[in-house]
């Protein structure tokens, strides 16, 4: 990732965090301060929609954060340890060869004695 892209993602992350903090605040949801027994169906539906919207914004923010991180979780691997690409290719080729042998054995013509 280029430095300018990393900077733009960091700025986007800051904006999204501000939005999450506002959207996730139950004081801003419809029916705030009322018991659920006193809230009509439309208000309950709007409240539920606000919760789902906050959750979606949080998920988006989390995705942006993970994209900019250089961690094992974000990359799906340890950036400082592990096999290099050539080793991974060799292992994949070996596995593919074994799978091909297995398939060929299953399709060999059988002879009767």
How do the pLDDT tens digits run along the chain, 113 residues long? Answer: 678 888 898 899 999 999 999 999 999 989 888 888 888 999 989 999 999 999 999 999 988 888 887 656 556 666 556 556 677 778 888 888 888 888 888 777 666 65
Does residue 40 sit within a domain? yes
Does residue 29 sit within a domain? yes
Measured between alpha carbons, how far is 110 from 49 in angstroms, rounded to an integer? Answer: 64
Measured between alpha carbons, how far is 47 from 32 in angstroms, rounded to an integer? Answer: 9
Q: Please answer whether residues 41 and 63 qualify as being in contact, where contact means their C-beta atoms are separated by less than 8 angstroms.
A: no
Does residue 69 sit within a domain? yes
Domain residues for the domain of 58 are: 3-80
Domain count, the chain: 1
Does residue 45 sit within a domain? yes
Contacts of 60 (CB under 8 A, 6+ apart): 16
Does residue 85 sit within a domain? no
Does residue 48 sit within a domain? yes
Measured between alpha carbons, how far is 37 from 14 in angstroms, rounded to an integer? Answer: 37
The per-residue DSSP string of 35-47 comes to: -GGGS-HHHHHHH
Measured between alpha carbons, how far is 112 from 94 in angstroms, rounded to an integer? Answer: 32
Q: Please answer whether residues 17 and 51 qualify as being in contact, where contact means their C-beta atoms are separated by less than 8 angstroms.
A: no
Does residue 96 sit within a domain? no
pTM: 0.57
Does residue 99 sit within a domain? no
Q: Is 31 left (phi over 0), alpha (psi -120 to 50) or beta?
A: left
């Amino acid at each position: 990732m280029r430095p300018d892209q990393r900077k733009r993602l960091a700025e986007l992350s800051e904006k999204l965090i501000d939005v999450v903090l506002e959207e996730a605040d139950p004081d801003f949801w419809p029916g705030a301060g009322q018991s659920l027994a006193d809230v009509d169906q439309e208000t309950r539906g709007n409240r539920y929609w606000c919760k789902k919207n906050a959750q979606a914004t949080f998920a988006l923010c989390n995705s942006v954060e993970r994209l900019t991180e250089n961690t094992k979780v974000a990359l799906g691997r340890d950036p400082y340890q592990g096999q290099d690409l050539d080793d991974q290719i060799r292992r994949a080729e070996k596995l593919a060869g074994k799978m091909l042998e297995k398939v060929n054995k299953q399709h060999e013509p059988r002879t009767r004695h």
